[in-house]
Structure 1
């Protein structure tokens, strides 16, 4: 705690200056000047001692963990405890990381005598996602007689968790996330006879031989067939590549973000869509090793766990090890699932390694591989060339587009579908792929 002279003390000392100036010409005024200065000093000292003895400084209580959303204004809820028992008026400020924007630099808080605990909401807007720590809480309040201003800082053990902003993505999928949209989902025509066993019944004319349950037929002495139902609950995993290539910058909503930022946002939107469809969903993040593995589950609690696991993920400097990743998936995923990869296969060596090892899982699971289309990666004659200077850039983009097509061609014989999606529509296109798999009952 630091005591600082208040205006009352400064004015009191300033009032002695004319007397001291007059005492220079009239020495008989010196005793009066000393007496006045001594009285002011004694009163100021007593004021400071009385204030320190009473312990007038309030205490701030903050939640251990506060959850915020990137680029969205939030309110940090704080409780200020008035320990003095009397009314106080304090200036309050909260230090936040530089990447946070606060609506106000400081606020004035009234602490009445009949309310020992006062609720304060501090408005702020976090810019990046990740884990942060709230800085010290700063106070300034007047002493008992107003001769001093007491300034103090209190360290807060408050963790700020900033999650990806899904609101811009959800605008493209508004109908999907409306509760009444679930009726539309149930009315979708499900193609196929289904894969999930339901019951046994006696053979009826027209039943296929592959539907005959031979053990039941032998036991009962008459033909018995199996009845299947369309699977409603399926498992979907999103596998996010957080290796060095995910650090490439892309533009989104007029801001420059990393490719990993777009991957994580799209992955959370896709998991939310799977939750709304009643499916079980899981999440995997990897680089040279598996950094996060959340087995498929459902419900808001499991979705929150997925969000907690990736909100502070940053691109690493390592190269992805697809052999290790596919071995882990082959070992830990027993049930046939939809695996949606978000990765970058523009590196020919990585693309070759991916195609060589993906067969370990593609025989059991349905695999979709998606990557973000870089600016300028398109067929050469997709649009007119503006001038001679643009020809070389367009040729480079065409070669990259051809290489992506070659990678998709190598993956197709393994039963893997590869696609290059637009950055701004990444989440919407992923959800469209997922719903198409649901409609066609490919699982």
Structure 2
């Protein structure tokens, strides 16, 4: 394969070829003979140069990258080239890295010494979650004179999982710390603050009579009270809707721009629901409860069985990171049926879905009685902060007035939906992307504090 240096050398020899043409004519040689001599000589040198280049197939090329990154976090991809031959290899490589990984570079120039190696690195900062497969790497090795090169393409397999970013991590840790102080790690002493016996102790003037353990009192001959704590090892099952209504784009709560493009950074409603699901998983497992996941649309798409260990957050993220909204009507009845099979005992079902009145009335509302017979249901909806802003504006033009009227009607529709769900027995949290995770965690902690499970 010719290189740019070969082309530059050929251009530099053009005056020489012209001089040889005039000189050859003086000796009676055909003009084309003098013209071809430099070209043939240059091509011969290029052939020798290519033959002396290390063949790319003799080089070992590896790629090292993180197995998992969170969206918007930065990772490093490293290329390593090992040269087992006795000649130095001057090479360039090009890697077919997915554009969504936003590698700072996809090409590198390296010099691998004889029986040695070289490496280069690039930074990765993904802008989209999902599973990314690495593929072909093209290696081009220059000859010693850089007149020609040898090139080969090989597949260097590998994958990178980009998880949702858990933007509400700080909110989750704050709620978890507060809950541990109030209900998680100390005995409850007030009404409705505990259901599980922790210990027995002597009665004091501040204790309620209903906490007296009469059997223990009879045995001890003095008043004994029960010390209660909120029950642990309860089950929380998060149902994430990924149907068509969850595909709507909503802005991030902090109003950041998308990278360097200057556009508002919007994400599907599903991604905001994922953030709330991950935050709730962190809080609930931190308080000793088992958390499971069901992702659904027109059918069940992913299931994580309830567990309460420290790795459950990773399992839930692993089930969610490849999930994308599908243009299909959500089947809440099928999702609740799956939940009843997975959790025959009473549990808290947290349904993250869209609260627009028409799809809610058609799918969620008729299916709720199936779940409410056995479980407590908490419905979480992601509202659009832009619609709320339109409803608050003072119209300056006719277009503004129409927009305000439409936004006001949309908000009233969501309030009606929430009221209908509450009337059948569900608890409803409808909040903007930046507030949903915290308010869901507060609702869950309130359920535990009141002993409603």
TM-score by structure 2 length? 0.79
Question: Are positions 1:47 and 2:49 aligned together?
Answer: yes
Residue 355 of structure 1 is matched in structure 2 by 365
Q: How does 1:292-331 map to 2 (within 5 A)?
A: 292-331=302-341
The size of the alignment, in residue pairs, is 426
Task: Please say if residues 93 and 105 of structure 1, whose CA atoms lie closer than 8 Å, have aligned partners that are also in contact.
Answer: yes
Deviates more, 1:307-316 or 1:358-367: 358-367
Match of residue 187, structure 1, among 181, 193, 202? 181
Alpha-carbon distance between aligned partners in 1 of 2:84 and 2:57, rounded to the nearest angstrom: 7
Give, in angstroms, the shift of residue 319 of structure 1. Answer: 0.7
SS at match of 2:434: coil
Distance (Å, rounded) in 2 between the aligned partners of 1:407 and 1:33: 86
Equivalent residue, structure 2, for 1:22: 22
Question: Which residue of 1 is the match for residue 76 of structure 2?
Answer: 75
Contact 2:137 2:155 in 1 (8 A): yes
The alpha carbon displacement at 1:372 in A equals 1.7
**Which residue in 1 is equivalent to 2:258?**
none
Distance 2:275 2:48 in 1: 60
Report if the CA contact (8 A) 2:56-2:151 is conserved: no
**Aligned mates of 2:409, 2:97 — CA distance in 1:** 47
Counterpart in the other structure of 1:219:
none
CA distance in 1, matches of 2:2, 2:390: 71
Contact 2:65 2:78 in 1 (8 A): no
CA contact (8 A) 1:58 1:80 kept: yes
SS in 2 for 1:410: helix
The 1:382–1:211 alpha-carbon spacing in structure 2 relative to 1, beyond 3 Å, is: farther
1:263 to 254, 268, 273: 273
Distance 1:386 1:188, change over 3 A: farther
Matched, 1:127 2:141: no
Match of 1:410 among 407, 420, 432: 420
Give the secondary structure class of the aligned counterpart of 2:157.
coil
Alpha-carbon separation, structure 2, partners of 1:381 and 1:98: 38
3-state SS of 1:126 partner: coil
Name the CA distance, whole Å, in 2 between partners of 1:161 and 1:380.
38
Per-residue CA deviation, residues 335-392 of structure 1 (Å, 9 max, x unaligned), is 3222211111314353254223212222332211111223565699967555665444
- For normalisation by structure 1, the TM-score amounts to 0.80
Trace 1:43-442 onto structure 2 (pairs within 5 A): 43-51=45-53, 58-62=59-63, 66-113=67-114, 115-116=116-117, 118-167=118-167, 169-171=168-170, 173=171, 176=174, 182=177, 185-189=179-183, 190=188, 192=192, 194-196=194-196, 229-252=229-252, 253=255, 254-348=264-358, 350-375=360-385, 389-442=399-452
Assess if the C-alpha contact under 8 Å between 1:4 and 1:151 holds in 2: no
Query: Structure 1 residues 390, 210: CA separation in 2 closer, same or farther (over 3 Å shift)?
Result: farther
Which moved further from structure 2: 359-368 or 78-87?
78-87
3-state SS in 1 of match to 2:429: strand
Per-residue Cα deviation, 1:34-72 (whole angstroms, up to 9, x for no partner): 7766555444333323436x6575332235983233233
Aligned-pair Cα RMSD in Å: 3.9
Please report how far the alpha carbon of residue 284 of structure 1 lies from its aligned counterpart in structure 2 after TM superposition: 1.2
Task: Report if aligned partners of 1:379, 1:398 keep a CA contact under 8 Å in 2.
Answer: no
Counterpart-to-counterpart distance in 1, 2:145 and 2:391? 82
Contact 2:131 2:322 in 1 (8 A): yes
Judged with a 3 Å threshold, the aligned counterparts in structure 2 of structure 1 residues 85 and 391 are, in CA distance, closer, same or farther, namely same
CA contact (8 A) 1:9 1:44 kept: no
